[in-house]
Amino acid sequence: MALGGGGALGLSEIGALQWFEEHHIPVDVIAGTSMGGMISALYATGNSIDQLKAVMNDQVFGSVFRISTSYASRSFRRREDSRDLPNGLTIGLKHGVSFRNSVLIDQGLNSFLDREFLRYDDQVDFNTLPIPFRCLSTDLNEARTVTFARGSIPDAVRASISIPGIYRPFEMNGHEYVDGAVLQNLPAQTVRNDLGADVVIAVSLPLVPVGKKDLDSIVGVLQRSFSVAIEGNERASRKLADVVVEPDLTGFSAGDYLKSAELAERGYAAAEKMKDSLLPYAVDDAAWNAYLAQRTARKRGPAGTLLRVRVAAPNEGVTKNVERIFAPLIDQPVATNKVESLLAAIRSDGRYDADYTVGYDKGPDRRPVLLVTVQDKKTGPPFLELGANVAAQTGGISRATIEGILLDQDFGGYGSELRSHIKLGYLTDFDSEYFRKVPNFLQIRPASPVGTMFVAPHGGILRQPFPIYQGKTRVSERELQKAGGGVDIGWTDGRTTEIRAGWEENDIRWHEQIGIQDGLPNVYGSMQRARVRYALDRQDKAFVPQFGYRVTAEGGYLYDAAGGANAPVFDTQITLGHKFGKEIVAFGTEGGTMFGRNVAQPYRFTLGGPLRLSASALDELRGTDYFLVRPVILRKVASLPAVLGQSIYVGAAYEAGQMRAPDFRTATRQDVFLGVLAETPAGVISFGPALGDGGRYKLIFTLGKLF
């Protein structure tokens, strides 16, 4: 059999294989390209039709097709980046300015292939499989079709399904490979000449007719052009087959990966339509059972316990760290979920690419050997995350910033980094921190780390306007200028938790810019602050969590503060969410206190703005003691394409808050926000009205993060 490629349309080939099995037509050899290569490999290694259908399910495709790593899989510091700049575009600066060379990341795809072909990840002769197998790919270096006949099956399939521009090319031995469909989508010639088949039956996926809107966009034109080019080479390949099965795929597209069952039915129907040509190749029950027994006898058994771990990494520091992480797996059964979990920890900081292969020792027990490969990313570090945040409301001040996070990882040592966050727009802010790992004295033994100690000197400058209100009226605008720095020491587990304690000193300038005299004193001078901060993040997403919670708490002491009293300071924020069917129920609360001290205006808390009393103006309330509670209910009304893993919701939020100060009349407010909220690659977009007590009303729009 020769199975052609075609994205999701290739799932119809499962139905054709099912028809063959039900009618006792043995497949002696098989070859595939792209999706046909993946299905061929799964079938050739001994999977039944039921197993194929179970493997190629919606959940698998949801993990395979991802535009970025999930929030939960990122390190603590990269989660903080995601919260600061959720729509950041990553720019590599290692060799000038460079961007990623694919729409999707391949971590989910690689994990799937490694898991499914665990027993066939070493130097396998593809002729020794339950069904002899070939896989086709396109070599970009030499501009030719390459047929994989031995080696690692995960590598062969990965090379064959690297759709140009969608997945990055697969690199192996100095060559870059992309989808085999570029030059040969239907491997009929390979089945006949390389595998020596007397009879070639091909499942070919016909070119789908042009839809009404298929050519109305650049993407549509490019996709159609690629399909037409493939059709050209496939027509020649069809002529080399004795029987060609062509499923009727009207109404389906190459992106319909969530319709695997319906597509399999189309493949089955296509084989049934060709039964007069196919049934002459059927065998009797005795011959069929003998064929199945031969296939089963060639299947490899369980992998056994791990003999050792070998690490290939860019430097000694990374090598030792990876060896320490993987050491507990030795002499344990090979569990791909555990291996993937440890690889995710290596990748979580965004610094390295990491993958693994499983080979087998030449001893009598053929015990598995794990080879972990860690590689520098081609484009960085340093990296620049570039994006924007917008918060706008009617009858108030809108805020927009262009932001960049400049990150230089392993700066000064493995695990250390220099991070600078730059904001330009309604404010100007430059903040930089050097996160330096220090020897971990809390480590119980080399194979059981319990976290990392760090020291973090930091500094920055800030220019930010602040509106001053009397009632609902904005009477003036003041400007805060701040410059200074400090140092923290702390501990982090690297994934969900960070504790730090530190000190900082800043020069402060707080003065009136425009408007009538607001009666507030100008403040010039310096301030110092000592603090302890705790953060725990176990949410699955940054802003619309479907499960989990996030807690931050900070306590400290403000002293030698120009313009006002010294004061202890404490503030905390808590958010949690849970999904119930199509509904997400979330709850957020925050509060802070300066224990009633008459602290100067530049150091006070603020309230007002989107989801912080939405019907009030941005930073309308200013004081020394406050609280805010915010229950939210969201109902999912639409999903963006599966590759994005994002949704559109309608929802409502109730907000109640209070602000107090020794020289300020206590303000207690409540409001309701009703609107649409969308998770998108550009960040979270929210839009809708907020209705509050006292006749307050705002129309809200946000882009980027939820403020």
Q: Are 32 and 40 in contact (CB under 8 A)?
A: yes
Contacts of residue 41, Cβ cutoff 8 Å, sequence gap at least 6:
32, 117, 133, 135, 153, 156, 157
Q: In this structure, what token pair is assigned to residue 264?
A: 């399999």
34 is catalytic: yes
Q: Are 234 and 204 in contact, with CB atoms under 8 Å apart?
A: yes
Which residue among the candidates 34, 40, 111, 227 is catalytic per the annotation? Answer: 34
Tell me how far apart the alpha carbons of residues 356 and 370 are, in angstroms, rounded to a whole number. Answer: 7
Q: Are strands 583-593 and 2-3 parallel, antiparallel or unpaired?
A: unpaired
Question: Rounded to an integer, what distance in angstroms lies between the CA atom of residue 185 and that of residue 179?
Answer: 9
449 Cβ contact list (under 8 Å, min separation 6)? 324, 440, 443
Provide DSSP, 615-635: TSPTT-EEESEEEEEEEEEEE
Among 84, 106, 114, 179, which one carries the catalytic annotation? 179
**Is the omega angle on the peptide bond into residue 209 within 30 degrees of 0, that is, cis?**
no
Residue 425 exposed, middle or buried by CB count within 10 Å (0-12, 13-18, 19+): middle
Whether 129 contacts 149, CB under 8 Å = no
75 is known as an active-site residue: no
Q: Which residue from 448, 379, 387 is spatially nearest to 423, judged by alpha carbons?
A: 387
Report the SS3 class of residue 100. Answer: coil
Residue 370 near residue 310 (C-beta atoms within 8 A): yes
Residue 475 burial (C-beta neighbours within 10 Å; 0-12, 13-18, 19+): middle
Cα separation, 33 vs 138, whole angstroms? 10
Catalytic residues: 34, 179
